[in-house]
Structure 1
């Protein structure tokens, strides 16, 4: 029996976290911290690092829990396409040396480590972080875990948008300022929450028939192709409208206008979705563009806040 080296094991467990999608955690943390710096002039690098690491650990946990419970449901084994953005991580299908029990144990270790950081932040910053943390941990575990299996019942997209949008931005902002001022954090976070939810949304199209067969009735399955496409389009349009509204009303600083530069990327993703929504391989560029749209929009929002402080 061939022994697996330590470096290979470390790489596997890192890969199992689906680290390319960690932007879901670090983008809202960056936005919250940049708003805090812009509004109050406060920025604590230590608290920022704790918030960032904690958020990434919790995202790693939800990704691995998702793979574990999807494996138990049989969903991953039924996936035939090779769209890298859909079908889950499939690590339990593709890596024979990894048992579900080990996978679950590592998933819990990420959850515990993230929670420990969260408890430390609660000691430093108080009750609000506790409330946000409870919502986050509940959502992480029961996203795919029975008995709730929230993503199977059409709540997954909402939870992803809420947790990796408003809750994480507001949490990051509060850690820096200890102020629960919602106007700027909420206005900036809703578009980024919508865009991260749309990553999940478009990634559900390739698994439409598989998910329907195993009873994973997320919103794309519940709505069907036609209405799911319409909701995707309406959602991304709404995200950009909110940014424009926030700037026009003086809620967001003018340099945040930079984030509208991603509109052409988003339009291209819409075009691909309209054409290839039933073609898992043909949809890959649309999946990728949705990921890039979220990433670049978030970074440009952060850049807008930095510019507003340093150059204006």
Structure 2
């Protein structure tokens, strides 16, 4: 019994379930946008299917990334809740082969589920969107591109989380691609790029040592923090247009992401391994999630 609980705890650690929020909220936002623009309630069966897609996608990402980054993670002496991998391979708690197989199972299940949802909804677009989600991770972590090591990994994260996922949810709930509120997507993209940069801040030393060209590894954490603030500032500037595209207006709620973004540079100095770096990353994540939640809650309340 005790051995079974140990195995369960190990797989829960490997699964890094707190990161599910990055996936679940954009998917849910896309679905709510589709339902509200069509003047109808959410299809609950499709809602469950889409959020299950998100769970499989998130598990694929964390398992596949742990497998691809295991050597870099072994060099990482400043891991946090937000970065540095799950540590199950570094600590020898799981064999790499088991994690690789789990990633492949999640990828296969994700594609099968998307095919089923596509048939149920009568739109094949869900399948190429699912393939795009898998391809972005492959391009991020695996040869021949391995863009997280060559530069550009943060851009791939932005496209996947703020682009592919809202579109997937929107199409799954019957939204017509030509009617998608692209201004809302423009609002989401910069802040998600900032979030992708922020989660690599604690890994700056090991990333630089491993030749992983994240922005913090190239320019340093303090300069990267200012880039994060600028990106969130761009999202805030675009907020009236993005929110207006779905019939909402910019309000006092935007103070939450604004204050959180400012905290990224006000909390300093924040070297990797310090408590302040965790506060800095949490502030950047808060700003991004708030900018997703504002239209989500606004539409849900209508």
Q: How many residue pairs get matched?
A: 299
The gaps in structure 1 that reach 5 residues or longer are none
What is the aligned-residue RMSD (CA, Å)?
2.2
Match of 1:16 in 2: 14
Question: Does residue 99 in structure 1 map to residue 60 in structure 2?
Answer: no
Does structure 1 conserve the Cα–Cα contact (< 8 Å) formed by 2:184 and 2:241?
A: no
- In the TM superposition, 1:219-298 aligns within 5 A as 219-225=215-221, 227-247=223-243, 250-254=244-248, 257=251, 259-262=253-256, 263-272=258-267, 275-277=269-271, 280-298=274-292
Deviation at 1:279, TM superposition (A): 5.7
Q: Hey, what does 1:52 align to over in structure 2?
A: 51
1:109 has 2:108 as partner: no
**Counterpart of 2:177?**
180
Contact 2:195-2:285 at 8 Å conserved across structures: yes
State the Cα distance separating 1:178 from its structure 2 match.
4.1
- State the distance in 2 between where 1:195 and 1:117 align: 29
CA separation in 1, counterparts of 2:13 and 2:190?
Answer: 26
Residue 36 of structure 2, aligned match among 38, 51, 69: 38
- Tell me how far apart the structure 1 counterparts of residues 151 and 2 of structure 2 sit (CA, whole Å): 40
Q: 1:103 to 1:265 in 2, by over 3 A?
A: same
Q: Does 2:157 align with 1:160?
A: yes
Report what 1:214 is aligned to.
210
Q: 2:197 aligns with which of 201, 210, 222?
A: 201
TM-score (norm 1): 0.87
Q: What is aligned with 2:4?
A: 6
1:65 is matched with 64
**CA 1:257–1:35 in 2, change beyond 3 Å: closer, same or farther?**
farther
Gaps of 5+ in 2: none
